[in-house]
């Protein structure tokens, strides 16, 4: 899938939060994909219908972005564009929680969040501490399965060991670096990477769960490479972009899967 992504770059539409827009675009470019930050009403829907993949992140949901997000979700579902919902801080904040519930009804291909966000989105918790999780990954598995069964997505629960959950399967991806939690956009950019891998996976006949797991493997491998060559968060971020551009099969094989 990574070879396919690099040889035929998928066009990924991104509606994401203002804090991480630049980093998300750079992550996609480093990986080999083509980002497009299309987040206004009247453009987001038509773009999502023609893009190869779409991210909808509710991190800073302005009124314009709320309307654009719904337009993009409806258009992606109708056109069959694989799309990813990232329910940032859902459960703790009222407006984005209501928006995320409306969005998941449009049946995303994948949902990505931390354990508290996934539990809150499923209606069985009140969220974490802002964007930080108050729950561990294993405690969110039932909520993830519930979302998968009710709305159809693959659900990726992020933590020290990520869990990729469908209605009947769980894949765990280890590795990575805690340094991703000390730079802005480490989790949010991963949502865009999922959209890129869902597009690449579709092109080579790989199902959504395996495509999402592959995205996590690549992300974890790049984070490990970056950590080895950096001295702190300031040097980690550019090293991570370099690692995404150069990561290869040998590094991917080192990431533990179960």
One digit per residue, the tens of pLDDT, for the chain of length 258 reads 999 999 999 999 999 999 999 999 999 999 999 999 999 999 999 999 999 999 999 999 999 999 999 999 999 999 999 999 999 989 888 899 999 999 999 999 999 999 999 999 999 765 555 555 568 899 999 999 999 999 999 999 999 999 999 999 999 999 999 999 999 999 999 999 999 999 999 999 999 999 999 999 999 999 999 999 999 999 999 999 999 999 998 999 999 999
Beta bridge partners of 164: 156, 171
**Cβ contact 87:113 at 8 Å:** yes
Q: What architecture (CATH level 2) is domain 2-252?
A: 3-Layer(aba) Sandwich (3.40)
Per-residue b or e along 149-184, where b marks 16 or more CB atoms closer than 10 Å to that residue's CB: eebbbbbbbbbebbbbbbbeebbbbebbbebbeebe
**Is 116 known as a binding-site position?**
no
Q: What counts of helices (H) and strands (E) characterise the chain?
A: 11, 8
Cα(244)–Cα(258) distance, integer angstroms: 23
Per-residue b or e along 98-129, where b marks 16 or more CB atoms closer than 10 Å to that residue's CB: ebbeebbebebbbbbbbbbbbbbbbeebebbe
Residue 48, Cβ neighbours under 10 Å: how many? Answer: 28
**Is 37 known as a binding-site position?**
yes
Beta bridge partners of 15: 56
What's the whole-model pTM score? 0.95
**Is 185 known as a binding-site position?**
yes
**Is 70 known as a binding-site position?**
no
Alpha helix stretches (DSSP H) within 9-154: 21-31, 44-50, 63-79, 94-104, 115-121, 141-151
């Amino acid at each position: 899938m990574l070879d396919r992504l690099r040889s035929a770059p998928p066009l990924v539409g991104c509606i994401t939060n203002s804090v991480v827009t630049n980093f998300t675009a750079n992550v996609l470019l480093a990986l080999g994909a083509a980002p497009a930050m299309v987040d206004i009403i009247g453009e987001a829907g038509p773009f999502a219908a023609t893009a190869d993949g779409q991210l909808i992140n509710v991190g800073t949901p302005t009124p314009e972005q709320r309307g654009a997000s719904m337009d993009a979700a409806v258009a992606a579902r109708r056109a069959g564009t694989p799309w990813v919902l990232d329910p940032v801080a859902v459960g703790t904040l009222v407006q984005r929680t209501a928006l995320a519930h409306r969005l998941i009804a449009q049946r995303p291909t994948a949902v990505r969040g931390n354990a508290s966000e996934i539990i809150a989105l499923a209606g069985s918790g009140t969220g974490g501490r802002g964007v930080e999780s108050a729950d561990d990954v294993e405690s969110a598995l039932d909520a993830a399965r519930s979302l998968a069964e009710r709305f159809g997505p693959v659900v990726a629960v992020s933590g020290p060991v990520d869990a990729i959950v469908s209605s009947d399967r769980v894949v765990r991806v280890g590795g990575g670096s805690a340094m991703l939690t000390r730079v802005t956009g480490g989790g949010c950019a991963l949502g865009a990477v999922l959209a890129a891998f869902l597009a690449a996976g579709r092109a080579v006949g790989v199902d959504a769960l395996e495509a999402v797991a592959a995205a996590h493997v690549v992300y974890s491998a790049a984070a490990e490479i970056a950590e080895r060559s950096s001295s702190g968060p300031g040097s980690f971020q550019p090293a991570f972009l370099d690692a995404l551009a150069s990561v290869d099969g040998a590094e991917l094989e080192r990431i533990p899967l179960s």
